[in-house]
Structure 1
């Protein structure tokens, strides 16, 4: 991210485009991660892929993809706009350190995107994936699935797991933006005067930010998936009860189930999102002096 302020509309356009591209490219890893976190027999990554392709073909690995692409596009747009606004609002009030600014702005951006975009799209995506592994799936796609979920559970049905999603997204964005911005500033100070950070460096820095994010926030992701599954209401009273049952019945390591596919996705995600975002912002002249 530059020291200049992003224009809100341009930031929204660049973020939304980056989010849609990232979601489509990395979706199979998200599918495998989500499947591995459901209750029941623990499934390995290869076994999930083999079973899904055997029963549904390659398109089975994209069950729920439309929901995630739509949500991810909105999520990334909201994230970048709100991050920039939080960052400059905090900078105007007090002379905070860079680390405090990025951490606080990232936390605020993550919680904002959780409420406006992530929770509904993640809930629908998770239920579609959970439904797809049944012998006779009941949802026929995004629109049908969404309408059936709302019909059966009301609007609260697509906001199930809001608390763990807010915690996860807040932590995700705080860690990711702080790591990315710190590393990018470090690289930028070592570039020749007037030369911008190359896309290859941006991709690598974004990937490192994704790696750090995965290991620090994985337990929240597992709790989120359980709370959004089709059987959540039968097993868990709330997020804390869910965490307690996982810890006492399955062990602490269960909180890191799905780490490998999520690691692959967030490393690719960090690289793709920040690279696409930076290039689109540069292309449309979306930055101005604060």
Structure 2
């Protein structure tokens, strides 16, 4: 009687390993995305900062669009880009740091399929915001805010480099880190909400069967930007007051906002920040996703 042979089918692992984004890809993609976003949306940032620096009783226009028109008419269109170079360099740097930090933490917290929970996305975003605040955001925001504040008075600064040199000569290197605490709080909150919301919306779009492309990335990032504005605007207002030319501590910055405008003053400039973060959210995430895809296409193991 012929021996019966039992043939067992070979078992293979049908689940692909999760895709890990290389850190150099996050660095380059984030830097490019940040630079593009800053260059396109800077007039919104300029007008928002000017509005937040207006003191009670000033005759300066408080409507954002009228402020832009007034500044362009009286000081020339180029004045709307005062401090722009500093912000572009700073934004490119902070976006690079943010995405490297975020992707590193995301890679560690995501499951075997590469899925990141809502809480994990918020945590990764918060940590990334804190890192970028210390390494990139605070110094560049200090210089940018000082330049914009200076431009509305007697103009003692000629450029971002000149402003940095004067501030350091007068008060020492720590002057560039004035407002570090308020900036870190603002940046951590902003990054947590922005990156966390983007992660949630991205996972939802996958569940709905939407194919990832530049359009869906832009839309998801834009919606994340809207949520971020209203959730974190008070932190941004306090940070701006703390980093004016004269500078102020957190308590003084909060007190000055309350004194000038009351509770609603903490959301001053939100309409222009909304315009900026709506565009920037769409731009930075869509550019980041597209550049990342070109530099490191998904490899299935």
Superposition TM-score, scaled by structure 1 size? 0.90
Distance 1:288 1:142 in 2: 43
Q: Are the aligned partners of 2:138 and 2:180 in contact in 1 as well (CA < 8 Å)?
A: yes
C-alpha distance 281-56 of structure 1, shift in aligned 2 (>3 A): same
* Match in the other structure for 1:24: 39
C-alpha distance 130-249 of structure 1, shift in aligned 2 (>3 A): closer
Q: Are the aligned partners of 1:38 and 1:226 in contact in 2 as well (CA < 8 Å)?
A: yes
* Match in the other structure for 2:192: 174
C-alpha distance 129-14 of structure 1, shift in aligned 2 (>3 A): same
How many angstroms does 1:8 deviate by? 0.2
* Match in the other structure for 1:64: 83
Q: Are the aligned partners of 1:19 and 1:72 in contact in 2 as well (CA < 8 Å)?
A: yes
How many angstroms does 1:50 deviate by? 2.5
Distance 2:241 2:172 in 1: 19
* Match in the other structure for 2:13: none
- Counterpart mapping for 1:115-264 below 5 A: 115-134=134-153, 136-191=154-209, 196-232=211-247, 236=248, 238-264=249-275
Distance 1:129 1:259 in 2: 17
CA deviation vs aligned residue, 1:211-237 (integer Å, no higher than 9, x gap): 0000000000000000000122xxx4x
Structure with bigger helix share is 1
Q: Are the aligned partners of 1:7 and 1:286 in contact in 2 as well (CA < 8 Å)?
A: no
CA deviation vs aligned residue, 1:35-74 (integer Å, no higher than 9, x gap): 0001412622133212311232111000000110000000
* Match in the other structure for 1:77: 96
How many angstroms does 1:210 deviate by? 0.2
Q: Are the aligned partners of 2:37 and 2:284 in contact in 1 as well (CA < 8 Å)?
A: yes
How many angstroms does 1:245 deviate by? 3.7
Gaps of 5+ in 1: none
**2:266 matches 1:277:** no
After superposing the two structures, state which structure 1 stretch, 180-189 or 222-231, moved more.
180-189
Distance 1:11 1:173 in 2: 16
Distance 2:220 2:65 in 1: 28
Q: What is the count of residue pairs matched by the alignment?
A: 277
Gaps of 5+ in 2: 1-17
Distance 1:76 1:37 in 2: 24
CA RMSD of aligned residues (A): 1.9
How many angstroms does 1:289 deviate by? 7.1
CA deviation vs aligned residue, 1:121-151 (integer Å, no higher than 9, x gap): 10000000011111x3111112212111111
